């Protein structure tokens, strides 16, 4: 020991404080730092030394040896790690099986509240002294020269990350010549930090349990020194988003979680803070005056035949007996839809000798089985056109808006002329106007909503002609149909986009009816005037408005299809993350087998980077050397 160490020993004996060898050495370093301030080059050298030690993950023994070599070359500048004071109990007392139960957590929280109460009272006294110092000793900001203001700003920028007490110590040193920098007020511990601390204690309980189980599986003792308890690893993002029964526990952001941890460190509630990089969790120790770690006995080892083992890779095979949606749709029939033998009972088909029945059938919806046809068309299904897609479509405008409007209005025909063309079969293969063209009319056309609805209505009537292309429909029936539809379709709609959306629904129903009649060749459709009768709302009445229930089923099908698509994407992402985790675990075990990782490094890697279930299976994987995971 040198002269400074002997003096420190005498100081310790006078103050009845028992220092360890590390404590005596560190006291000598602190005394040396009080009389010597490192220059910028030496500060940079110290920073490189500390960063290298963290990067290489040196143990306390390795770190202290390196510190001794560094201090021999540069002077007493760095402190050694370890306990500086001897406890009244034996220094190397062990805890065989560290754990916390519910009662220990409660006791820890009680000690935390008492500690915080005392700390806040002490902080109030310190803040009073700080205010007096700033008001009586430090010059006001408006009294400073430009050079002093720059010096003050540079000092604040250089030391703003320091804790308030450390910052104030630096302020005292800086203000020795000229007091221009005020001290910083010390923040008290708030109630919200208690919630964060409680969650941290819960994390520590879980981490201790995992650590003990891992060491027992590896046939190693879980015991630890009382003055060197396992550290708590904190992932700020997981802390902020921690949930209990799918309910957020804290509901804070990552930055807020970091601020709470910093405040607890400043109050010495969390000690021995260690940060590797932004991708690794930080590690801390709890203040031994607060945490209550119990000592228990390790559980007795179970026989091998009584241990449960879960395979890492679970493959869910397809159940061939599982009922699929297609099968359900094929088995589901619309009960109120009549079959060929029941049509006469329902009144939809006239008896041959009933002359009073003046409406002749050209088809019907007998044996309708929901949406069975998986072939999608331009009116619905997988190829159904989304209105928002067209709203975002950019296309070149027409040469003149007037010409675009005029061309659209030229499609409007006289009702009598339209009826004659329909009866002549000129629209039996008509394809409706494209939706992008209709939306272009809405955006650039100069026409009223009523004119737009008239053209759309005639477009719909032309599209319906395909249903009767194999049957003769007279001009008078078509004329009556046109007059009927004018009074019941698109009547109360004032928005052109709404008209287009409704047109899509009507087109889908027409296409569904056309395909249905093609399959049911023995059933003929009603004449158009009867077919578009609004009172025929039941599906067995074979009217257009009886298709509404089928349209609703189609919408539910599309909704379920969208949900299933999202679920497939989620399952795919989960599967990819699992495969990625398996590859990481394979590489980590390979490094362990090659000697690159020791057991502690392998444990830390799996704990920090992989899901919890991989950590539980790690001992069995190491014993069996089963690394073929990916």
pLDDT in tens, 401-446: 788 888 888 888 898 999 998 998 889 889 889 999 999 888 888 8
pTM: 0.48
- Per-residue pLDDT, averaged over 546-557, amounts to 88
Q: Dihedral of CA 170/172/177/179: which sign?
A: positive
Residue with the larger pLDDT of the pair 88 and 265: 265
pLDDT of residue 94: 82
At 117, the pLDDT band (50, 70, 90 cuts) reads: very high
Distance, in Å, from the CA atom of 322 to the CA atom of 56, rounded to the nearest integer, reads: 55
At 170, the pLDDT band (50, 70, 90 cuts) reads: very high
Q: What residue ranges do the domains of the chain occupy?
A: 3-86, 93-138+183-307, 331-556, 560-624
Asked whether the predicted pLDDT for residue 523 surpasses 70, the reply is yes
Residue with the larger pLDDT of the pair 82 and 333: 82
pLDDT of residue 301: 61
| Percent above pLDDT 70 for the chain | 78
- Per-residue pLDDT, averaged over 209-220, amounts to 87
- The CA-based angle 315-318-322, given to 5 degrees, is 140
Cβ atoms within 10 Å, residue 227: 17
At 300, the pLDDT band (50, 70, 90 cuts) reads: low
Residue with the larger pLDDT of the pair 619 and 12: 619
pLDDT of residue 19: 66
- The CA-based angle 561-563-568, given to 5 degrees, is 95
Cβ atoms within 10 Å, residue 529: 19
Asked whether the predicted pLDDT for residue 315 surpasses 90, the reply is no
pLDDT of residue 7: 53
At 58, the pLDDT band (50, 70, 90 cuts) reads: confident
Asked whether the predicted pLDDT for residue 197 surpasses 90, the reply is yes
- Per-residue pLDDT, averaged over 154-180, amounts to 90
pLDDT of residue 17: 56
- Per-residue pLDDT, averaged over 449-469, amounts to 90
Which range, 49-63, 330-344, 388-402, is most confident?
A: 49-63
Helices (H), 218-356: 236-240, 254-266, 325-331, 343-346
Distance, in Å, from the CA atom of 348 to the CA atom of 359, rounded to the nearest integer, reads: 9
pLDDT of residue 339: 40
Distance, in Å, from the CA atom of 11 to the CA atom of 223, rounded to the nearest integer, reads: 35
Asked whether the predicted pLDDT for residue 185 surpasses 60, the reply is yes
pLDDT of residue 71: 85
Residue-averaged pLDDT of the chain? 79
524-526/361-363 β-pairing: antiparallel
Helix (H) or strand (E) holding 226: none
Distance, in Å, from the CA atom of 202 to the CA atom of 289, rounded to the nearest integer, reads: 18
Q: What are residue 397's phi and psi, to 5 degrees?
A: -70, 160
């Amino acid at each position: 020991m040198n002269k400074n160490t002997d003096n420190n020993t005498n100081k310790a004996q006078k103050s009845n404080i028992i220092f360890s060898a590390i404590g005596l050495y560190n006291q000598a370093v602190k005394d040396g730092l009080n009389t010597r301030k490192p220059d910028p080059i030496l500060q940079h050298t110290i920073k490189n030394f500390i960063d290298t030690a963290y990067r290489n993950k040196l143990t306390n023994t390795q770190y202290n040896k390196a510190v001794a070599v560094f201090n021999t070359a540069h002077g007493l500048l760095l402190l050694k790690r370890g306990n500086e004071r001897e406890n009244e109990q034996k220094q190397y007392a062990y805890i065989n099986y560290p754990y916390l139960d519910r009662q220990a957590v409660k006791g820890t929280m009680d000690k935390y509240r008492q500690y915080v109460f005392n700390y806040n009272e002490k902080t109030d006294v310190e803040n009073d002294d700080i205010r007096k110092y700033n008001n009586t000793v430090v010059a006001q900001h408006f009294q400073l020269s430009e050079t002093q203001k720059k010096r003050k700003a540079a000092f604040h920028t250089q030391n703003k990350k320091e804790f308030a007490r450390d910052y104030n110590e630096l302020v005292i040193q800086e203000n020795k010549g000229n007091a221009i920098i005020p001290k910083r007020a010390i923040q008290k511990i708030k109630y919200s930090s208690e919630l964060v601390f409680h969650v941290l204690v819960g994390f520590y309980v879980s981490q201790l349990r995992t650590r003990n189980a891992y060491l027992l599986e590896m046939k190693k003792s879980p015991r630890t020194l009382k003055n060197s308890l396992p550290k708590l690893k904190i992932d700020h993002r997981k802390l902020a988003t921690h949930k209990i029964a799918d309910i957020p526990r804290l509901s804070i952001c990552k930055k807020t979680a970091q601020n709470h941890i910093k405040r607890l460190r400043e109050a010495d509630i969390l000690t021995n803070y260690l940060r590797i990089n932004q991708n690794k969790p930080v590690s801390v120790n709890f203040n031994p005056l607060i945490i209550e770690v119990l000592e228990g006995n390790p559980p007795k080892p179970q026989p091998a035949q009584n241990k449960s083992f879960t395979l890492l890779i679970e493959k869910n095979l397809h159940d061939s007996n599982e009922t699929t949606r297609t099968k359900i749709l094929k088995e589901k029939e619309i009960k109120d839809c009549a079959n060929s033998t029941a049509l006469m009972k329902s009144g939809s088909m006239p008896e041959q000798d009933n002359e009073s029945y003046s409406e002749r059938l050209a088809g019907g919806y007998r044996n309708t089985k929901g949406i069975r046809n998986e072939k999608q068309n331009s009116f619905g299904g997988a190829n159904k056109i989304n209105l928002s897609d067209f709203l975002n479509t950019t296309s070149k405008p027409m040469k003149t808006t007037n010409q675009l409007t005029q061309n659209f209005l030229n499609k409007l025909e006289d009702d009598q002329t339209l009826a004659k063309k329909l009866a002549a079969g000129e629209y039996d293969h008509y394809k409706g106007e494209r939706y992008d063209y209709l939306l272009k009319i809405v955006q650039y056309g100069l026409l009223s909503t009523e004119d737009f609805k008239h053209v759309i209505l005639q477009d719909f009537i032309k599209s319906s002609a395909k249903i009767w292309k194999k049957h003769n429909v007279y001009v008078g029936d078509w004329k009556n149909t046109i007059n009927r539809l004018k009074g019941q379709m698109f009547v109360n709609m004032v928005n052109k986009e709404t008209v287009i959306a409704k047109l899509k629904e009507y087109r889908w129903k027409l296409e569904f009816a056309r395909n249905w009649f093609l399959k049911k060749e023995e059933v003929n459709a009603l004449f158009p005037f009867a077919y578009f009768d609004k009172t025929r709302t039941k599906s067995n009445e074979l009217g257009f408005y009886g298709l509404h229930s089928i349209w609703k089923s189609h919408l539910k099908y599309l909704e379920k299809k969208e949900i299933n698509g999202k679920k497939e994407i989620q399952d795919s992402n989960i599967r990819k993350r699992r495969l990625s985790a398996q590859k990481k675990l394979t590489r980590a075990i390979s490094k362990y087998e090659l000697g690159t990782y020791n057991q502690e490094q392998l444990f830390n890697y799996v704990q920090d980077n992989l899901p919890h279930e991989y950590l539980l299976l790690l001992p069995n994987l190491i014993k069996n050397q089963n690394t073929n995971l990916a």
